[in-house]
Structure formats: C-alpha cells, structure tokens
Structure 1
Amino acid sequence: MGSEEGPAAGRGVGFEHRLRAEIEQVARDLRAEHASIQGTLEVITKAARDVVPGAEDAGITLVARGRGFQSRAATSELPKAIDELQHRLGDGPCVQAIWNHETVLVADMTTEGRWPRFAPEAARIGARSMLAFQLYTTEHTMGALNLHSSHPGAFDNTSVSIGGTLATHAAIALIASQREEQFRDALASRDIIGQAKGILMHRFSIGAEEAFAILIRRSQHTNTPLNEVALNVIEHRSDAS
C-alpha cells in the first residue's frame, strides 16, 4: 500500500466501511484459528499486511526463554531477514518494541539514527519503513508484530491506530491459542502416563500408585521429563523395570 505520496493517498469515501469489514473478517478468522498457534500467527500477519495502511509485508518475532529469537508466519522473506539482522545485532525496532513495551515507528531507514548498525543494513535489504508493536508478554515468551514497507514514510497515525488495534486483538487470540495447545498437550501427557502405568501394573502385578512411583523414580534418576519416561515404557514394553 505504501508509496512516495504517503499512505493517505488514494483513500476514498468507502475506506472506513471497507476497513471495518476487513477487521470484522480478521476477528472471524482469529476465532476460527484459535486452536492452532501457527494458524493464528498466519491470520495475524496476513491481516496486518492487508489491513494496515502502508504495510507491504508482516511478520511476528517471538522471544522465548531458552530458545532465543523466532521469526514466525512471515508474509515474505523480508521479515525473516530483518529478524535475523536484529537477532545478530541485538538491536532494532522489534527489539525495542519487545523490551520497552512500546510501539516503534521508523519513517525512513536511510535517515534513521537510533540504530546506526541496523538501519543502513535494513534499508539495503529492502525495508525503508517499519512499524513494530509489542504483541504480548507472558512469563516465558514475549513477542512483536512487525510491519514493513519498501517506501519511506509509508506509515501514518492511521497505520499506528489500526495496527495497534489489530495487535491487541491478535495478542488475546494468540494467548488463548497457546493455552488451548498447552491444555491439549497436558491431556496427551496424562494419557501417555496412564498407558505406561497400565503396562507396569500388568507386568509387575502392582497398583496404580506403585506404578506411578516407578515412573517418578526413573524420571528423577535419569533427569528426564515424566511424559518422556512414560513414552519410553510404552515403546519398549520389555524394558519396564
């Protein structure tokens, strides 16, 4: 959408009506995808690219404890390249949005002075304008929604307002999706542990508590998560001692 004429150019009388319809569709898509984290992320970035004035590409950066930077659901290779650059330098708009809990607008990378190492390289690989929103923060993960344009001055106050609204809705949907996935994982782990207990109970003619104690001891002695110990018992039934 961005151009040298500015993001406001070409907005007709029906812009607000079209925008409202698009955001309503985004909300429906997010509800439909809430059970899949990757699906939710893809809905968010596609919506940001299509709905936010000035945006040509979008991506999401997650910073997870123990796993570093993750570039997710990018609409092209550009957001991935920008994420890799920020990860390598440890600085940039996305990093600032995540750590400082703020929205970061870059009008022109060629004249940007806040990140003297990042900005010239970002401009060289095709990002002249950028808009980064802190997406959400949990105990273990932080994230940002990043919008890119190949044109300077691509984003204006309307872009910031619409992007911020989208980021807020997206954060709620993403957290709900993560919780649902964690719940499914917990149920799956419970089923695996139950199967392993049943195998041990049958093999050694013991009760459920004794079988569970065996799993706990093996988990502690091998420093292995309980569900992995249980899965090993299921896969190697003859090695259940």
Structure 2
Amino acid sequence: MRMADAARELEDQHDPAATVKNAVELLVRHVEACSSASISLVYSKRRVETPAASDDLAALGDQLQEQLSEGPALSTLWEHETVYIPNLIEDARWPRWGSHLAEATGARTVLTLRLFTLSEVIGALSMYSTEVDAFTAEDQAEGLALAAHIAIAVLAAQKVERYETALDSRAIIGQACGLLMERYDIDATRAFALLTRVSSTENVKLRSIAAELIHTRHLP
C-alpha cells in the first residue's frame, strides 16, 4: 500500500534532517494530485523558513508569503489546522500572494496542514497542484497520514524534546491512522473511520484514542 510504504520509509530513517528532506519527495510521489510540496516554520506570523521543498514552485510559495506579508501560513493556519485553496486566482483571502504564485509558477490549488504549534512558531506542510480543485478527500487523508510522521521529524530536527505537547490533534490522529493502515493494510479513509468508530463506542475523544494507540500500539 502506497501510504503505509511511505510512512514506513520515513520511520526507517534515523536522521531527522534527512527525513524532513525526504518527506516532500514522498508526498509528491505518493499523493496523486501533489506536484510540489514544502515544509515550513512560521515565526510570529511574519517570518517563514523552509527546511525542505521539492522544487522551486513550493519554495516560492513560502518565500512570497514572507515577502508579501500575506498567505495561509501567516494568518488562517494559526487558527485552523487545515487550509484548502481550490483556485489561487479566484481566492479573495490572499489576492496578491495567490496571483503572484499562480502567474510565476502555474500553481492553481494549495492544501496546507498545520503540523505543530510551539510558542510563536508553527510548522506547516503545503502541497501544490497545477490543476484547479485538484485535491480530493482521499488526497487530504493521505497527506494527513504522512503529516504526523513529518511533524515528529521536524520537531526532532529542531531538538524539541517533549514534542508530544506540540503536535496538533490532526497530527496525532494522522500518526494513528498510519499505524492502522500498515497493520491492517487499509487506506487512510478506512483507518480514520475505524478510529472514529472506536471513539464513538468508547465515548472517548478521538485524539485520546489516537494517542493511546501511538503509545501502546493497541486500540482500546
């Protein structure tokens, strides 16, 4: 299975910095609609660093946000764990960033996931496509499944020791989904449905179920 293999490949690497660089290449290979990807660190909603980018398109997406002082990683992503832009040219939230990026690179669709939150810093994962409204729900679920592993690698590379408190709920859930995908040979959508069903049956929050699975390697 594609995503289980990708998650296993990330786990098998013992150098966090190398894992971060490899992660963007894995996203392009394994998420069907993704043509470019980047991993960013965003400081105080102003400064953007890019530890890894698959190509110039993804790197420019980050650079333009800092240069133009607008974009999802500088605003909406701080309040929401996922930002989806189906058409950069028509999106009114960041008109300068969207139009500049589309004109310079041909990018049309952007999916950005928040990886973690630290004091005045967030980690972001951005996936780009040159097609309009390119990412399906399955693409988003697969990106989320890898995002958990990527978040841990980025935090390790930044030498954040107690990274568990920094991981967002979606990263915890994504990591748990990755474990289920590999164990039961199922896709990301089915893994998420299984977690949701256990959460409902046990009457326990989804994040808690996911955290227990990661810690014990067993579902309640």
TM range (shorter): 0.5 to 0.7
| Matching residue of 1:238 | none
SS at match of 2:159: helix
> Which one of the candidate residues 108, 111, 131 is aligned to 1:131?
111
Cα deviation digits, residues 3-25 of structure 1 (max 9, x gap): xxxxxxxxxxxxxxxxxx22222
Looking at structure 2, the residues matched to 72 and 179 of structure 1 have their Cα atoms a distance apart, in angstroms, of 14
| Matching residue of 1:103 | 82
CA drift at 1:177: 4.4
What residue identity is the alignment partner of 1:91? E
Cα deviation digits, residues 16-56 of structure 1 (max 9, x gap): xxxxx22222222222324x332121122112111223100
CA drift at 1:140: 6.0
SS at match of 1:104: strand
What residue identity is the alignment partner of 1:60? I
What residue identity is the alignment partner of 1:172? I
Q: Does 1:171 align with 2:151?
A: yes
Change (3 A) 1:84 1:179: closer
Change (3 A) 1:112 1:25: same
SS at match of 1:111: coil
Looking at structure 1, the residues matched to 73 and 110 of structure 2 have their Cα atoms a distance apart, in angstroms, of 9
| Matching residue of 2:124 | 144
1:97 touches 1:133 (CA, 8 Å); kept in 2?
A: no
Change (3 A) 1:96 1:157: farther
CA drift at 1:152: 1.0
> Which one of the candidate residues 142, 153, 170 is aligned to 2:133?
153
What residue identity is the alignment partner of 1:167? A
Which sections of structure 2, spanning at least 5 residues, go unmatched? 162-220
Change (3 A) 1:41 1:97: farther
SS at match of 2:93: coil
State the percentage of identical aligned residues. Answer: 33
| Matching residue of 2:165 | none
Larger C-alpha radius of gyration, 1 or 2?
1
Looking at structure 1, the residues matched to 88 and 128 of structure 2 have their Cα atoms a distance apart, in angstroms, of 11
1:41 touches 1:73 (CA, 8 Å); kept in 2?
A: yes
SS at match of 2:131: coil
2:19 touches 2:153 (CA, 8 Å); kept in 1?
A: yes
Looking at structure 1, the residues matched to 158 and 118 of structure 2 have their Cα atoms a distance apart, in angstroms, of 11
SS at match of 1:110: coil
Change (3 A) 1:68 1:116: closer
Which sections of structure 1, spanning at least 5 residues, go unmatched? 1-20, 182-241
Greater than 6 Å deviation, 4+ residue runs = none
CA drift at 1:166: 1.5
Cα deviation digits, residues 118-167 of structure 1 (max 9, x gap): 11112102211111000112236421000011111211211111112221
SS at match of 2:147: helix
The two structures have a TM-score, normalised by structure 1, of 0.59
What residue identity is the alignment partner of 1:26? A
1:98 touches 1:143 (CA, 8 Å); kept in 2?
A: no
Change (3 A) 1:63 1:94: closer
| Matching residue of 2:64 | 85
1:59 touches 1:146 (CA, 8 Å); kept in 2?
A: yes
The two structures have a TM-score, normalised by structure 2, of 0.65
